[in-house]
Amino acid sequence: MTINTPRRLFAVLVACTAGLASLASQAGDSLPSWNDGASKRAITNFVVATTTPSDAGYVPPAERIAVFDNDGTLWAEQPVYFQLAFALDRVKALTPQHPEWKEKEPFASLLRGDLKAALAGGEHAILEILMASHAGLTTDDFEAIVRQWLATARHPKTGRLYTGMVYQPMLELLAYLRANGYKTFIVSGGGVEFLRVFAEEVYGIPPEQVVGSSIRAKYEVHNGKPLITRLAEIDFINDKAGKPIGIQKFIGRRPVLAFGNSDGDFEMLEWTTTHSGPSLGLLVRHDDATREWAYDRESGIGRLARGLDEGPKRGWITVSMKKDWQEVYP
Amino acid sequence: MTINTPRRLFAVLVACTAGLASLASQAGDSLPSWNDGASKRAITNFVVATTTPSDAGYVPPAERIAVFDNDGTLWAEQPVYFQLAFALDRVKALTPQHPEWKEKEPFASLLRGDLKAALAGGEHAILEILMASHAGLTTDDFEAIVRQWLATARHPKTGRLYTGMVYQPMLELLAYLRANGYKTFIVSGGGVEFLRVFAEEVYGIPPEQVVGSSIRAKYEVHNGKPLITRLAEIDFINDKAGKPIGIQKFIGRRPVLAFGNSDGDFEMLEWTTTHSGPSLGLLVRHDDATREWAYDRESGIGRLARGLDEGPKRGWITVSMKKDWQEVYP
């Protein structure tokens, strides 16, 4: 290739884009772990419509924003959010440095192995545990600790690594959307710095496309070396009505596709599907006690009630784990 | 094309990537508005090294993050930040609804046309003006107002639209970096929702790659229609040590290239260039009173003192507008 004008560059780009688009549209089974049925059809119809220039529902590539909740949507969340499992392990590891915890709740109950009593203090107790386990160290050190935990800790029920409990059908969906020019984002109530440690490797979602809850941080220079240290103060809670706020703040553009599983995702789906153009809202329904868990209205974690009642009226798709997914974990 | 296996897709991707990379590396003059010299050479050498797999300084595509300040780096900032000019125009437009402003500072001075007296109240006065002009309306309405202003307001000195005062050499640099697999971000002290209105069209930077200062917002549903309303409360100031914090919060990955122009960018360049891998820090020096402005140590806006003193010792490149740029505006 010896000529190099903007026109030539443009021609190469067009050729590449066309080649990729044709490959993508042929990808009849980009979703092999999804059973044929209404849910799969709704997804593929939407993707074909939004990526076909002649279609009334066409969406230009720059606007193809798809947002995914994480806990219960991209990976499992029972019996406790995996980040809480991390926090509990971290509290145990830190105990030698905190003799006072033996007398102090929620740590005392936690160290006796009584999780229920530890969490009886509600939000305040959870916050204490999160701050003790997530703050007071640099971003680099925190990342290393999370990475180490993810590489070794095992889920109490399945014995798998936690990253082995991501949902195979969702991995396929993320890849299928990206192959069709969608930019995929995580929009989670979980901590953004926790999620970023594995999101790229596991989901193919780079750090800059992860929106989550956060604690404040400070910038300091020690002996010429700058450090960012995590502080024991909440910065932002990316849950419920916080999700559209987080989307506006971090993405700055209204998504066209939103996928969640609990009432914590209600506003995210609402914000996405009341947009003037084409949109798709989806909810994973955990109805598979054999392969995963079955829970909805009464669950403390991943409660889904309003979404079940109002979702169908709003045209949202309820994805049944039991019926729609051929496989659950990879 | 009839076969469609992951391997085939991979082959197409590799062919496209190789084609693009070869085009990009041939792009001897992707920077026609930059005069030949040390600055241009430093940039092209860095880009070639970081994108050549056999080079010791090679950076994988996912890590090619380049961050740019906006005011004074991508567009002009004199005699006042353009967003402040917008705020002043907006205050004037809102005056009929606020008869009390005739007696109340900083508005009273502002309405008499005495900008100096209005800003004499310092940060507090600026904050009052910003909140009066930026809060209390929905994100959609705010966007429409900014868009309208950018389409009509003219700069007092050049008579150009404000978006006509972006720097041509920087537009070329942004495009050159992207052609080489870099993801370009704005990291500005300016308001993120103000910047996003024009960043995509003018700089080719999508909303999700704009990091800026922000005010809080709330999510509410009115008659089934969700709205995000901007509140008169500061959320985050993305300036000075706030810039690395903003980078960590929104991007979550340390940049390899940072370009600024004032001491407000010092920590952003420091954070970028003390990374263990290859990195490049650059500062625009406003030394061209004929074509633009000449200011540094003594300027209230865009003050550059520490960067001039310490930058060279840290290996940062000082880009002289006068000597390094053949053109200033498009």
Model pLDDT for residues A23-42, shown as the tens digit of each residue: 444 445 999 999 999 999 99
pLDDT (tens place) for every residue of chain B, 330 residues total: 333 344 444 444 444 444 444 444 444 599 999 999 999 999 999 999 999 999 999 999 999 999 999 999 999 999 999 999 999 999 999 999 999 999 999 999 999 989 889 888 888 888 899 899 999 999 999 999 999 999 999 999 999 999 999 999 999 999 999 999 999 999 999 999 999 999 999 999 999 999 999 999 999 999 999 999 999 999 999 999 999 999 999 999 999 999 999 999 999 999 999 988 999 999 999 999 999 999 999 998 999 999 999 999 999 999 999 999 999 999
Task: Tell me which residue of A149, A161, A150, A165 sits closest to A91, measured CA to CA.
Answer: A149
Could you please report the per-residue DSSP string of B108-167?
Answer: HHHHTT-HHHHHTTHHHHHHHHHHHHHSSSBHHHHHHHHHHHHHH-B-TTT-SBGGGGB-
Alpha-carbon distance values, B192 to B20, B97, B139, B197 (Å): 32, 26, 11, 9
pTM of the model: 0.91
3-state secondary structure (DSSP) of residue A325:
strand
- Please state, for a pLDDT cut of 70, what percent of chain A lies above it: 92
- Report the relative pairing of strands B210-222 and B225-236 from DSSP bridges: antiparallel
pLDDT for residue B9: 42
**Who contacts B307 (Cβ-Cβ below 8 Å, separation ≥6)?**
B260, B262, B263, B265, B266, B269, B283, B316
pLDDT (mean) for A305-326: 98
Token code pair at residue B154? 């003219």
Token code pair at residue B318? 């000082």
Cβ–Cβ under 8 Å, residues B20 and B311: no
pLDDT (mean) for A210-229: 96
CA distance B68 to chain A (A): 16
Q: Is A294 on the interface with B (CB under 8 A)?
A: no
Which of A1, A3, A4 to mutate against chain B (most B CBs within 10 Å)?
A4
- The rounded distance, in Å, linking the Cα atoms of A83 and B252 is 18
User: pLDDT at residue A142 above 60?
Assistant: yes
- The rounded distance, in Å, linking the Cα atoms of A125 and A109 is 11
Q: Is the peptide bond before B53 cis (omega within 30 degrees of 0)?
A: no
Cβ within 8 Å, pair B252-A9: no
pLDDT for residue A8: 42
- The rounded distance, in Å, linking the Cα atoms of B16 and B104 is 62
Q: Is B139 on the interface with A (CB under 8 A)?
A: yes
Judging contacts by C-beta atoms under 8 Å, the chain B residues touching residue A251 are 207-208
Axis-axis angle for helices B6-26, B38-51 (nearest 10): 160
Long-range (24+ apart) CB contacts under 8 A made by A283-286 are A283/A259, A283/A307, A283/A308, A283/A311, A283/A316, A283/A317, A283/A318, A283/A319, A284/A72, A284/A73, A284/A167, A284/A259, A284/A260, A284/A319, A284/A321, A285/A261, A285/A318, A285/A319, A285/A320, A285/A321, A286/A72, A286/A261, A286/A321
pLDDT band at residue A18 under the 50/70/90 scheme: very low
Q: Is A12 on the interface with B (CB under 8 A)?
A: yes
pLDDT (tens digit per residue) in B214-255: 999 999 999 999 999 999 999 999 999 999 999 999 999 999
Axis-axis angle for helices A122-134, A82-94 (nearest 10): 60
> Backbone phi, then psi, for A272, in 5-degree steps?
-75, -40
Judging contacts by C-beta atoms under 8 Å, the chain A residues touching residue B207 are 251-253
3-state secondary structure (DSSP) of residue B93:
helix
pLDDT (mean) for A188-217: 97
Task: Tell me which residue of A181, A177, A239, A173 sits closest to A211, measured CA to CA.
Answer: A239
Residue A5: closest CA among chain B residues belongs to which residue?
Answer: B27
User: pLDDT at residue A13 above 90?
Assistant: no
pLDDT for residue A127: 84
**Who contacts B40 (Cβ-Cβ below 8 Å, separation ≥6)?**
B31, B34, B324
Which of B183, B248, B313 to mutate against chain A (most A CBs within 10 Å)?
B248
pLDDT for residue A28: 59
Cβ–Cβ under 8 Å, residues B303 and B263: yes
Kindly tell me the sign of the dihedral angle through the C-alpha atoms of B74, B79, B85, B89.
Answer: negative
pLDDT band at residue A48 under the 50/70/90 scheme: very high
Alpha-carbon distance values, B94 to A63, A177, B152, B305 (Å): 33, 44, 17, 38
What strands lie across the sheet with B225-236, from one edge to the other?
Answer: B225-236, B210-222, B183-191, B65-68, B257-260, B280-285, B317-320
Out of A179, A185, A226, closest to residue B244 by CB: A226
- Report the relative pairing of strands B183-191 and A280-285 from DSSP bridges: unpaired
Cβ within 8 Å, pair B226-A4: no
Burial of B233 (0-12, 13-18, 19+ CB in 10 A): exposed
- The rounded distance, in Å, linking the Cα atoms of B225 and A254 is 14
- The rounded distance, in Å, linking the Cα atoms of B124 and A3 is 57
pLDDT for residue A211: 98
Out of B20, B26, B267, closest to residue A219 by CB: B267
> Backbone phi, then psi, for A280, in 5-degree steps?
-140, 130
Judging contacts by C-beta atoms under 8 Å, the chain B residues touching residue A221 are 270
- The rounded distance, in Å, linking the Cα atoms of A98 and A85 is 19
Task: Tell me which residue of B186, B207, B185 sits closest to B197, measured CA to CA.
Answer: B207
Token code pair at residue A247? 């989307």
Of chain B residues 235-254, which have a CB less than 8 A from chain A?
Answer: 235, 241-242, 244-245, 248-253
Burial of B220 (0-12, 13-18, 19+ CB in 10 A): exposed
- The rounded distance, in Å, linking the Cα atoms of A316 and A318 is 6
The CA dihedral of B13, B18, B20, B21, to the nearest 10 degrees, is: 130
**For residue B191, what is the enclosing H or E element?**
strand B183-191
pLDDT (mean) for A209-230: 96
pLDDT (mean) for A294-312: 96
Beta strands in A2-82 (DSSP E): 65-68
User: Can you give the length of chain A in residues?
Assistant: 330
Long-range (24+ apart) CB contacts under 8 A made by B223-227 are B224/A274, B225/A274, B226/A244, B226/A267, B226/A270, B226/A271, B226/A274, B227/B138, B227/B140
What mean pLDDT value characterizes chain A? 92
How many Cβ contacts (< 8 angstroms) between chains A and B? 129
Q: Is B27 on the interface with A (CB under 8 A)?
A: yes
pLDDT (tens digit per residue) in A68-87: 999 999 999 999 999 999 99
